[in-house]
Chains A and B, each alone.
Chain A
Amino acid sequence: MSNDNQGGTTTLKLVLAWGFVGIPLVWGVLQTLSNAMKLFQ
């Protein structure tokens, strides 16, 4: 058993899994940041 990416888990699977949660999260953070910038305007 290895923690590295071999056999069962491909790089594509990892990218898809992280993208599935990462893209919405980054979108939400950017939305919040753009609102937060109003504090400094």
Chain B
Amino acid sequence: MSFLDRERTVAKPGFSRWMVPPAALCMHLCIGQAYAFSVFNLPMTKLLGISQSAPGDWKLTELGWIFSIAMLFLGASAALFGRWVEEGGPRKAMFTAGLCWTSGFVLSAIGVYTHQLWLIYVGYGVLGGIGLGIGYISPVSTLIKWFPDRPGMATGMAIMGFGGGAFIASPLSVWLMAKFSTPTHVGVAETFLTLGAIYLCFTWIGATIVRVPPANWLPEGYTPPVQAQKLITRNDVYVYDALKTPQFWLIWWVLCLNVTAGIGVLGQASAMSQEMFPGKVTVVAAAGFVGLISLFNMLGRFFWASTSDWIGRKNTYFCFFTIGTVLYILVPHTGATGSVALFVMCFVIIISMYGGGFSTVPAYLKDMFGTRYVGAIHGMLLTAWSAAGILGPVLINYIREYQIAHGVPKAQGYNVTMYIMAGLLVVGFICNALIRPVHERHHMKASDTRGVAATAKA
């Protein structure tokens, strides 16, 4: 039996479940670096010219594909390897994710060193993207099993780490590049190698710490509700059967629409704040605004997911869609009245709910489909993130460009987009309202042996 096998990760008596969130954070803090990848974009356009771009240097548009490929492979690998992650256990998954993530950095370093962009596409984009997908879902179902009394809070802690990873990676990468740079060298390759080594240590330490609870384990003092609650099932749905339910697709749209509304703003926050308040918001202040909304993105992940344990998942998403709609409608008025404070307040709340959407969804899936395959089902649901990653920026950028091309002043260029985002949230509200308990014909029977060999032991 290998050290990585699920059987070797079953907790022994006396193991504290509070060791599992730091193990999950070891993974999510590392892969959260993806949100900070843009700090490398500008230095990588000057690898040959050093002080400025020279002929033959890579263009920003070419570099933009690295992140897009990584996001695409995040969704694809989470969907494809979800069942393997669920049945193989969290240690094997975290170990593999750490290996892929680090290999991505090493291959990218070679790409930078030899100035071969395709190596970075394959390294950070494909390998790193696979590491992202497997790493993102690997601790989720384990946390839900350890915290049946507070599943939202538990997954919120881990997914908060994904938002927080960028806070560490961004200043660390800038500092490392400054350390490694010379008058004839930018220092990106060395920074990639250093980050890769740090991330390998962190993810493998997380993989070593992580444990799964023994079968039928329950926290001390916790008694599961005797009667099933309306929207919290006590049954399990097999991973591929979940795809046949309307509930899966309704939650898919709930996540996709919630993310679409936030992701476009997240990418355009700096430009939007400056264009809506010309002369009032400077470049430096706009950078501060970006930092502030990133912070609320992280905090919202913990706050809303924890809140969902008290008010329920469906009500939490109702909050997102109702408050979000009102705030998006309010944003153009903040521009018209020149109220920067109100503008900032609107967006920090919107972004907190964007983050909250990510962290609340695993517990929503657990309520609908049970705990056995929640990790794998969550993996398949993350394709909604990939779709929103395309839809959100396209909506916000192209509608703004269309508006400006038709003579709308820059300060009002985002107004229509804000109303469209509000409209998307109304559709999300309807999807959420349509969610009902999964029909019992989809529930796994006691005689159902699918996946039993791997999961019944733990």
Q: Which residues of A does B touch, CB under 8 Å?
A: 1-9, 13-14, 17-18, 20-22, 24-25, 27-29, 31-33, 35-41
Contacts and interface: CB of A to CB of B under 8 A. Distances in A.
B167 interface: yes
B14 A2 contact: yes
Given A1-B217, A29-B295, A32-B167, 14 more contacts: A1-B14, A5-B16, A6-B16, A7-B14, A9-B15, A17-B22, A17-B209, A21-B22, A25-B29, A28-B169, A28-B171, A31-B170, A32-B295, A39-B289
Nearest to B295: A32
Given A20-B26, A36-B291, A7 B13 contact: yes
Interface string B289-332: 10110110010000000000000000000000000000000000
Nearest to A5: B16
B224 interface: no
A3 B25 contact: no
Most A CB atoms within 10 A — which of B285, B288, B289? Answer: B288
Contacts of B13: 1-2, 7-8
A15 B281 CA distance: 42
Given A1-B13, A28-B171, A29-B164, A21 B289 contact: no
A29 B167 contact: yes
B205 interface: yes
A29 B161 CA distance: 11
Most B CB atoms within 10 A — which of A4, A14, A22, A25? Answer: A25
18 contacts: A2-B13, A3-B18, A6-B14, A6-B16, A8-B12, A8-B15, A14-B16, A18-B22, A20-B22, A25-B161, A28-B170, A29-B295, A35-B288, A36-B288, A36-B289, A36-B291, A36-B292, A39-B288
A33 B29 contact: no
B250 interface: no
Q: Is the interface of A mostly helix, strand, loop or mixed?
A: helix
Contacts of A32: 167, 291, 294-295
B167 A17 contact: no
Given A20-B26, A35-B287, A38-B287, A28 B17 contact: no
Interface in B8-33: 11-19, 22-23, 25-26, 29
Contacts of A37: 288
Interface of B: 11-19, 22-23, 25-26, 29, 161, 164, 166-171, 205, 209, 213-214, 217, 219-220, 281, 284-289, 291-292, 294-295, 298, 344
Q: Is the interface of B mostly helix, strand, loop or mixed?
A: helix
A37 B290 CA distance: 11
Contact of B205 (A20, A29, A35): A20
B14 A8 contact: yes
Contacts of A4: 16, 220
A9 B295 contact: no
Contacts of A21: 22, 25-26, 29, 161
A3 B14 contact: no
B25 A25 contact: yes
B295 A36 contact: yes
Nearest to A25: B164
A16 B35 CA distance: 27
Contacts of B281: 39
A6 B209 CA distance: 16
A34 to B, nearest CB: 9
A6 B166 CA distance: 35
Given A8-B15, A21-B22, A24-B168, A3 B288 contact: no
Contacts of A40: 288
Contact of B11 (A1, A31, A39): A1
B220 A9 contact: no
Most B CB atoms within 10 A — which of A2, A7, A37? Answer: A2
A7 to B, nearest CB: 3
Given A21-B22, A32-B291, A39-B288, A3 B16 contact: yes
